[in-house]
Amino acid sequence: MENNQNLNPWGCTSSKEIYENPWINVVEDQVIRPNKTEGIYGKVHFKNKAIGIIPLDGELNTWLVGQFRYMLNEYSWEIPTGGVPLDEDTLDGAKRELREETGLIANKWTKLLKIHTSNSVTDEYGYIYTAEDLTQGEMDWDETEDLKIIKIPLEQAIEMVMDGRITDSLSIAGILKIGRILNLK
């Protein structure tokens, strides 16, 4: 395999911010494409990193969060997730999000993976951790959250990915990776 990973075939001649809110900004770049023709490229810049957590108890149960997703206009089952400001440590954000959404506090944390959520239009990074040695505490939901929390065997979560009941990209990547690591079906 040839190593051209660091050779950027794109050029940018100018950038213009089109829209901004507290979570994102949208930029339109005037570009020179890899084939040397002029064009435009729109980029959604996220002001947070995406974070996902797979809590695991000693019997390989995990917790899923159910909520209605406004952007999709449908209900979604997911691992506990949230946003972490760009200047905050991802592990600190993961600990906060797990406690806020599920009330769980973990004594053992492992970074499972880094993921690009939609790299053709965004620069968003996602980070997924496993959380183990769990203690139940109090939940502290955001004003935008109306959540249902379920505890299920990790194997059932894998089945939910495989049959399409879980469609969230962070959840799919994290659940399948930990399933592979633990050699689950």
- Reported as a single tens digit per residue, the pLDDT across 43-65 is 999 999 999 999 999 999 999 99
Q: Give 87-101 pLDDT, tens digit per residue.
A: 999 999 999 999 999
Query: Which residue segment(s) compose the domain that 42 sits in?
Result: 11-46
Per the listing, tokens 């690009």 go with 116
**Number of structural domains in the chain:** 2
Q: Give 68-120 pLDDT, tens digit per residue.
A: 999 899 999 999 999 999 999 999 999 999 999 999 999 999 999 999 988 99
Residues 94 and 75 in one domain: yes
Query: What CATH number did the domain enclosing 166 receive?
Result: 3.90.79.10
Residues 174 and 144 in one domain: yes
Looking at residue 143, the DSSP 8-state letter turns out to be T
Residues 32 and 104 in one domain: no
Residues 176 and 166 in one domain: yes
- For residue 78, being part of any structural domain is answered with yes
- For residue 174, being part of any structural domain is answered with yes
Residues 67 and 130 in one domain: yes
Residues 62 and 132 in one domain: yes
Tell me how many degrees the CA angle 87-88-94 measures, rounded to the nearest 5: 150
Residues 31 and 120 in one domain: no
Its pTM stands at 0.90
Residues 78 and 103 in one domain: yes
Give the pLDDT band (50/70/90) at residue 164.
very high
Backbone angles phi, psi at 173, to 5 degrees: -60, -45
